Amino acid sequence: MTRTLAARLSRALVGCYPRRWRQRYADELLDVLDQHRPAARTVLNLAASAVSTHLDPAYRLEGLAMTRLRRGALISAALAAPVVLTLGVLMGYGAWRESSWHPGDAAGVTALAFSPDRRILVSAIGFDEDGTDTVWNVADPAHPKQLARFEGGAPTAISPDRRTVATISFHDQPVLWNVSNPGRPAKIAALPGLPNVVLWGQAFSPDGRILAAAYTSQIDLWNVSDPARPRRMTTLAFDAAAPPHWYGFPGAIAFSPDGHILASTTSHDGVGLWNVANPARAVRVATLSGHTAPVAALAFSLDGHQLADVGYDGRLVIFNLTDPAHPSRAAILRTIAGSGAYFSTAYALDFSEGGRTLTAIADRISSGPLPSTAADETISRWSLTGEGAVTHTTILSHDTTSAGGALALAPGGRTLARGAPPGGGDIVYLWMLP
Amino acid sequence: MRVHGKFDDLGRFADPSLLILTSLADGPRHGYAIMTDVAEFSGVQMEPGTLYGALSRLERRGWVRPLATQERRRPYEITAAGQSVLAEQLASMQQIVRIGRQRTATA
């Protein structure tokens, strides 16, 4: 392979990494390639690295490299792909071994979402546009019934009337699906996305009239009273320059139960609060801080007086929001049993209906001496006073055998849905917590 | 000096995370500087894909942290957690070396 061909292929392969990864590292990697004078082994090594990055849980909502290659945008890379993939796997430098999942079978549950009344669960298998969404009736969690299937991307939110599912398309567009007729789910509308900006989350307001679409740079508020004719009401801007290392992580977004406050991850360590009582004139009222990593999940108590958030640092913070403009920290908790170095992969949490307990699930990959890794999951529950102070901590389970799939905790914190990890098949496990 | 070049394809003997942490132990370096430094002290020719795969995992584990970009290049520095992981790993390797030496000497 000539040097110039290797250089061209190398640069093309940088485009095959997941989008979130590219936003953070592509410039640096291209700069290193400029200095490095790529050879054939550089190309093979990049292909292997790109594939293993796609199998990484932090990027699992994204498309496989092959999906992108099939689009014809990188024809030369596509011709080389079978060879590159075969040799690349052999040259993976132990990258596979650092992941607890086995490549080969790409199927696995990539996203899960409960309806606010926890009667409906939507699961997605596979990646992006090759993936399939399944709507389940889980009103009786012991006897779930399949209602509908459609090909719609990652489900992120279900409207309070259970008629509409908001998904994230391959192109980072918010898409609305009508699932009220189980036999015929239908695409209602695809909202315009932002060019080259990752859409990572969505939330419906409690009255179902507003859809908040959260990007890494801003939140768009859409009036979806008539889902077939969504209207953009306003855009909520984030802090001037969020450090780029936030981009590897999906954040968290939620409306308060009265619909007046919107809370969202806005930076590498902060959660922004907006007063959206009048959505067209939404104003930022406060920033919640208390983490050293992005916030992965958050929940309001039913009376709206408390907000709990958990960051990828494994820390859980309860804020008193009696006056949303002047939030105060009521408690700082650990969600992970044991100690040692780790990196976390998924979190879910919610308050009980009476607001007197808080349940959190934390998945992580722990690291002993390099390069061995082990995955585990901790389910914790805290008893709270009315002000959010903790009176009692219970570890409901600490499981060292299963972790890694998508997670969702139904409102109220009693039903846990856990998807099989990539390679684990199309299985969703429903757990009733005590 | 080429310490363990012939073990490259076994992965474990050329663990990229360990090499990167070692490279950053005496101060911050940007991507290409890590590659050349690693090649110099270990003889391992690390490719950019391996480098950035390992760097992004190390960053997520909180073992290295990115610094502000300087002329397009972003230096990385080792964190306190990264230093203790490196020390732990080096101690375990030292143990392997000690036992290995003993056994090859008596064999």
Average pLDDT over residues A248-266: 90
Backbone angles phi, psi at B10, to 5 degrees: -85, -10
C-alpha distance from B21 to closest chain A C-alpha (Å):
11
Spatial distance between the Cα atoms of A19 and B81, rounded to a whole number of angstroms: 28
Spatial distance between the Cα atoms of A157 and A153, rounded to a whole number of angstroms: 12
Average pLDDT over residues A291-318: 91
pLDDT score for B107: 58
* A248 contacts B52? CB cut-off 8 A: no
**Mutation target among B57, B76, B77 for the A interface, most CBs of A within 10 A:** B57
Closest Cα to residue A164, out of A172, A418, A156?
A156
* Chain A residues whose beta carbon lies within 8 Å of the beta carbon of residue B62: 293, 313, 341, 343
pLDDT score for A103: 31
Q: Is the peptide bond before A141 cis (omega within 30 degrees of 0)?
A: no
pLDDT score for A340: 55
* Chain B residues whose beta carbon lies within 8 Å of the beta carbon of residue A97: 11
- How does residue A69 score in pLDDT terms, banded at 50, 70 and 90? very low
- How does residue A274 score in pLDDT terms, banded at 50, 70 and 90? very high
pLDDT in tens, A184-234: 999 999 999 887 677 889 999 999 999 999 988 899 999 999 999 999 999
pLDDT score for A246: 54
A370 → closest Cβ in B32, B59, B89 = B89
Spatial distance between the Cα atoms of A121 and A136, rounded to a whole number of angstroms: 5
- How does residue A410 score in pLDDT terms, banded at 50, 70 and 90? very high
Average pLDDT over residues A229-255: 77
Give yes or no for residue B97 having a pLDDT over 80: yes
* B15 contacts A370? CB cut-off 8 A: yes
- pTM for the whole structure: 0.66
CA triplet B43, B48, B51: central angle to 5 degrees?
A: 75
Give yes or no for residue A417 having a pLDDT over 90: yes
pLDDT score for B87: 86
Average pLDDT over residues B77-103: 85
What ipTM is given for this predicted complex?
Answer: 0.80
